[in-house]
Each structure stands twice: as structure tokens, then as C-alpha cells.
Structure 1
């Protein structure tokens, strides 16, 4: 005697097992095979297993290969749990960083001969341009230039003020001397 079992939607088989991660939760009522394919991140036939390592998304057709520390991306979203290896960016680490950047797309410093810096460390292969220092050639005269300009302005104001005061005093004493001489001459004439 065969017992006919009718399972609710989203279940299959004689024990009414739950369908896998089927698109719209539809699976064949006796075998559990997903009729409309799998939800993103799962693979056929029953959509119970996630995509193979390095693949993700709809039908596991998207690839990811730039995750940091050799980790694999999330089989549904493609996001790298540990971030991207140097030179790559974005949620799925699929966007290459622009030229002359390193790490997580940080701009390089001023490398000698306009060399690109090391994509992982930011270090310049032949050192820094003249006037620049540091492991990534980002410390230099520009940093000290602003402070130097302020000091230069202060010195110029002080020197300018001193010159102005000396000239003012000189004129004042010259005028006083002339007045003194004129008074002496008037007294002498008397």
C-alpha cells in the first residue's frame, strides 16, 4: 500500500523535507530539484550547497580572487571578509586601484625618477625625489614649507617695522637738531 503524501509549498518527498535555496522556494515535489534554479550563491541541482570557493552569485558564475590573506569571498555577495589584497578595492575586490597608488589605493609619495611605488608597501624603488624623505616619500619641504613661510613673514614684518622706526626716529631727531640750531642762531643774532 502506497501512501500519497502532499507536502506544503517549499517542501518535498515522503517526509516533506525543506527545499534547498531554490529561487522563489519552488522545488520538484518528489526529488527536491529546484525548478527555477537556485537563489544567488547556491548551486544545482537541489541548491543546498554554496558556490565553490572563488565563485559567487547567480548560478555561481561570478568569480572573486583578490581577497586578503588567501580568504575566499562570500558565496552569496562576493564580499571579501578580510578585505582586498594590495592594489584592489571595492566590496568584491574587483576594482583595480589607479596607477601610482598602493595598499587600499593610497596615493604614492614622490618617488625618484617618477617611479611607481611598491603596490604593497608604498616604498619607492630608487628612493625619493630631492627634498622628500620617509619610507613612502611623503615627508618633505612641502610639510616644512608652510611653517617656513609663516616664519619668513614674521621675520619680514619685524625687520620692516624696525626699519620704519629707525627712519621715523632719524627724521624726528633731524628735525629737533634743525630747530635747536635755528634757536641758537636767533640767540646769537640778539
Structure 2
């Protein structure tokens, strides 16, 4: 009778011991999985934040280049200097200035928007591939040469692309703004309407 109790007690304790071991093992596995998940999430977050920082810095530096390029192509200062001499073609210069100012504003809005969207997309795609390559020990999907080619699209836009954009927008601006007399007092609402009209051409 005592022996039977002893066997049952031994069985219960043995089962509890095995159960505890099993539970501890499962707990460790769960902790390892959670730690791995957390590490993965942290790594992803750090990678994303790093990409965003790079993106913001690149946009900032290229925005300055774009702005300088636009101001260089649409140089109103030259016209201002000519106007100071009170030339015979004063009216033509004012007309030119009017077109240039509207063109400059439109080009800056479009150019900086295009730059920002393009760069964000490009850098996030490259960043995604680089992250994938860092996690999986396989042949890299994107090498430095391909990255350079991909990003060269932005450099093309900052250079020749801006000049092309200026030409396109200037045509639209002329169609909308040229008929507006310099003597006409325009309201803010009318100016806004002109910008909308330029956009739809």
C-alpha cells in the first residue's frame, strides 16, 4: 500500500518535473523567438531611420542645387539691372520679368516636389534591398554600380532635367500670363487662378 503511494507520488513528481522542463524549454524558445523578433524590428527601425536621415540630408543638399540652378536659368537680377538704366525697351523687360517670376515659382514648386518624391522612392528601394542583403547571406541583389546608375537619374534631373522643365513650364506660363496687362491690378484670387491655369496646360 505504501509502496503504491510511493510509486504514484514518484510518478506525479516525475511528471511535474518533466512538465516543468518542457514548460521551461518552451518558455526559452518563446523568449528566444521574441528576442529575435524584437532584434529584427529594432534593426529594421534603425535601418529605416538611417535611410530617412540620408534621404532628408540628400534632399536638403540637392534642393539648394536645384534652387540655385533655377535662379541661374531664370535670372531676374539681370533684368533689374537693365531696368535701372531706364532703357527704351522698358516695357518688354517688364513683360519678360513677369513671365520669369511666374515661371520661377512654378519651376521651383514642380522641381522640388519631383526631386523629393523621386529621391525618397529611390533611396527607400535601395535601402530595402541593402537591408535584405544584410539579412540574407546570398548574392546581393543590388551592387554599388547599379546603385550609382539608379541615383544618377536624380543627378540628370538636377542638371539637364531642370533646363527641360523650365522650357516646358515657360511655354505654359506665357500662354496664361502674357495676355495679362502689366497695368491691370490683379487680386490674389486671380493670381491663384493663373497658377491653376498654368498647371492644367
Structure that is richer in strand per residue: 1
* Bigger relative contact order (CA 8 A; separation at least 6): 2
Structure that is richer in helix per residue: 2
- For the criterion TM > 0.5, the same-fold answer is no
Using structure 1 for the length normalisation, give the TM-score: 0.31
Using structure 2 for the length normalisation, give the TM-score: 0.30
Could you say which structure has the larger radius of gyration?
A: 1
